[in-house]
């Protein structure tokens, strides 16, 4: 385990945004008010793409939606979401990239701004044991309260959470011979800048320009 391989999730390992698609799924299944929820969801997604999203405001919106349902119902809804949306979206090229790092004996983790409720089953489906994601508060029965535990796992927060996670396993970032981070978004430039091998993966225009200027490699997993 001499090397570390970190992966963003949405538009990096998946050709979709799982958080946005979860919202669309809730609308399609009439689990939320379709007009108001879609308006807010689209608004937040546009802010994310523009790099102006307030992560705490968005997470509180997303988690407050989850808090409306008992955990057993949420888990059943998510299983349907996995079957209808996520599994059909997973591409062989993404699985192959993950497998390459597993085969090399690297420590592999997904780090995402999307909350753990949405992403934990996705990480499991992708065969990734370690997930760093926004953590929703739960009550004693496992129901989501609507509050966020700790700081968001976005932007500079990804650096904070990566260091904190590595501390729990007793291996700081500098102890790895190589540290990779694959991401599509300029929002992840803080973490891309501290690893030894940043890879702009399916990059948006801002990240592609930044990566090109710094000589970072560009990887295009998805051509559509």
Of these residues, 10, 19, 106, 184, which one is catalytic?
A: 10
| Burial zone of 121 (CB within 10 Å; 0-12 exposed, 13-18 middle, 19+ buried) | middle
**Residue 224 lies inside a defined structural domain of this protein:** no
What is the domain count for the chain? Answer: 1
Helices and strands (H, E) in the chain, number of each type:
10, 7
> Could you tell me if 18 and 119 are in contact, meaning their C-beta atoms sit under 8 angstroms apart?
yes
Spatial distance between the Cα atoms of 191 and 80, rounded to a whole number of angstroms = 33
Taking alpha carbons only, the member of 153, 136, 10, 12 closest to residue 85 is 10
The backbone torsions φ and ψ at residue 91, rounded to the nearest 5 degrees and listed phi first, read -100, 150
**Residue 139 lies inside a defined structural domain of this protein:** yes
The pLDDT score that the predictor gives to residue 58 is 86
Active site residue 8: yes
The pLDDT score that the predictor gives to residue 224 is 56
Active site residue 184: no
Of these residues, 8, 17, 184, 188, which one is catalytic?
A: 8
Would the pLDDT of 146 be above 60? yes
**Residue 135 lies inside a defined structural domain of this protein:** yes
**Residue 10 lies inside a defined structural domain of this protein:** yes
Residue bearing the bigger pLDDT, 184 or 45: 184
**Residue 129 structure tokens:** 């044991």
User: Which range of residues forms the domain containing residue 108?
Assistant: 3-219
Over the stretch 164-206, which tens digit does the pLDDT of each residue have?
999 999 999 999 999 999 999 999 999 999 999 999 999 999 9
Q: Is the dihedral of CA 48, 52, 55, 59 positive or negative?
A: negative
The DSSP secondary-structure symbol of 84 reads: I
Percent of the residues in the chain that have a pLDDT greater than 70, as a whole number: 99
Spatial distance between the Cα atoms of 222 and 15, rounded to a whole number of angstroms = 7
The pLDDT score that the predictor gives to residue 127 is 98
Spatial distance between the Cα atoms of 92 and 125, rounded to a whole number of angstroms = 12
**Residue 32 lies inside a defined structural domain of this protein:** yes
The pLDDT score that the predictor gives to residue 1 is 65
The pLDDT score that the predictor gives to residue 138 is 93
What CATH number should be reported for the domain holding residue 87?
Answer: 3.40.50.1000
Would the pLDDT of 121 be above 80? yes
The pLDDT score that the predictor gives to residue 52 is 85
Taking alpha carbons only, the member of 120, 131, 148, 136 closest to residue 54 is 148
Over the stretch 17-39, which tens digit does the pLDDT of each residue have?
999 899 899 999 999 988 888 88
pLDDT interval class at 110 (50, 70, 90): very high
Q: Which residues contact 170 (CB under 8 A, 6 or more apart)?
A: none
Over the stretch 46-82, which tens digit does the pLDDT of each residue have?
887 787 888 888 888 889 999 999 999 999 999 999 9
Using N-to-C axis directions, what is the helix angle for 18-28 and 116-125, rounded to 10°? 110
**Residue 12 lies inside a defined structural domain of this protein:** yes
Does pTM surpass 0.85?
A: yes
Helix, strand, or coil (residue 186): helix
pLDDT interval class at 42 (50, 70, 90): confident
CA gyration radius for the chain? 17
Q: Tokens 């979860």 sit at which residue?
A: 22
């Amino acid at each position: 385990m001499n090397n570390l391989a970190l992966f963003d999730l949405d538009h990096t390992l998946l050709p979709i945004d799982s958080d946005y698609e979860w919202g669309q799924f809730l609308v399609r299944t009439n689990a939320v008010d379709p007009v108001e929820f879609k308006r807010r969801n689209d608004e937040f997604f546009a802010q994310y793409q523009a790099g102006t999203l307030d992560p705490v405001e968005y997470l509180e919106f997303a988690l407050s939606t989850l808090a409306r349902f008992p955990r057993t119902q949420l888990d059943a809804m998510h299983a349907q979401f996995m079957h209808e949306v996520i599994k059909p979206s997973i591409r062989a090229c993404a699985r192959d990239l993950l497998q390459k790092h597993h085969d090399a004996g690297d420590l592999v983790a997904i780090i995402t701004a999307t909350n753990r409720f949405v992403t934990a089953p996705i990480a499991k489906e992708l065969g990734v044991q370690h997930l760093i994601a926004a953590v929703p508060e739960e009550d004693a029965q496992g129901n989501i309260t609507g509050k966020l535990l700790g700081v968001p796992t976005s932007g500079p927060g990804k650096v904070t959470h990566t260091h904190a996670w590595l501390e729990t396993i007793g291996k700081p970032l500098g102890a790895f011979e190589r540290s990779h981070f694959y991401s599509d978004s300029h929002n992840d430039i803080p973490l891309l800048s501290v690893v030894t091998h940043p890879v702009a993966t399916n990059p948006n225009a801002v990240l592609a320009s930044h990566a090109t200027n710094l000589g970072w490699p560009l990887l295009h997993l998805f051509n559509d």
